[in-house]
Structure 1
């Protein structure tokens, strides 16, 4: 299910310009938010409430949790707030990659929001991590982002 995502080594990957920026979504559980605090890189949070809007005018990598039921159920895997954010043409145009969290208990739908977004936007899936992430995940993601932004 994850074999056809875009890899960073692809010729058609648009590398980000400017400073590192992460746009992320975290539900009211704040799991992704706590991860972002530990990551300690420049970031913007997609609003939880629908009446709030975020507009981004610079290259960024998206970090999102996955809401999927496991098995072959992928409906609702990408949070509605992320869909709304990406439905804005400008926001979508600056997305250069995606990182997703998930729960390995859900098997093939583990962190499936990442591959779904990668395929839809034609951007690379940079990393997937479980739930709150580990110290290893923090180090890996920092290294991936630093290298991804290199010219």
Structure 2
């Protein structure tokens, strides 16, 4: 199977979204230096929040960048899910798009903040489909 690896700030919006999914999950550490040394070697889906409006260097959280700078972590990510705020317009979920493109894996869903019940259902269906085809 797989783990849901995610980053969530102190607001814990992404954490609450991931908890609703009900899958085994692992949180990327809050501190950037700890995130840089954190290694996860199992197959995973990465859930990444989007920060800012996409017009600066803060769209992808620094902790996620540090985590992905480790080749051992990158090679196990099979798909990406983004969380964000639709108020950001075209930048909504941009961190997920950027990470998925960089890793060459599918971006399977964008969820608004904590995710609606429909978001949770859609993500579960897409994760099942992803893992059934593996």
| CA-CA distance at 1:74 after TM superposition | 4.5
TM-score, normalisation: structure 1 = 0.83
Query: How many equivalent residue pairs?
Result: 131
Deviations 1:5-50 (A, max 9, x none): xxxxxxxxxxxxxx13110000000001111111111111000012
Distance 1:74 1:109 in 2: 11
CA deviations on 1:34-78 (whole Å, 9 max, x unpaired) are 1111111111100001242321111111001100225xx152100
Choose the corresponding residue for 1:105, options 87, 96, 118. 87
In the alignment, the residues of structure 1 paired with residue 90 and residue 39 of structure 2 have an alpha-carbon distance, to the nearest angstrom, of: 32
- Asked if the contact 1:25/1:82 (under 8 Å) is kept, the reply is yes
What is the deviation of 1:95? Answer: 0.7
After TM superposition, the score normalised by the length of structure 2 is 0.93
* 4+ long deviations beyond 4 Å: none
Counterpart residue number, 1:14? none
Q: 2:13 aligns with which of 12, 18, 31?
A: 31
Question: Structure 2, unaligned stretches of length 5 or more?
Answer: none
**Higher normalized contact order (CA 8 Å, seq sep 6+, divided by chain length):** 1
Q: Is the aligned partner of 1:149 residue 2:131?
A: yes
For the 8 Å contact 1:22–1:43, the answer to whether it is kept is: yes
Larger helix proportion, structure 1 or 2? 2
CA RMSD after TM alignment: 1.2
Tell me the residue number matched to 1:60: 44
Shift of 1:132: 1.0
Secondary structure of 2:32's counterpart equals: coil
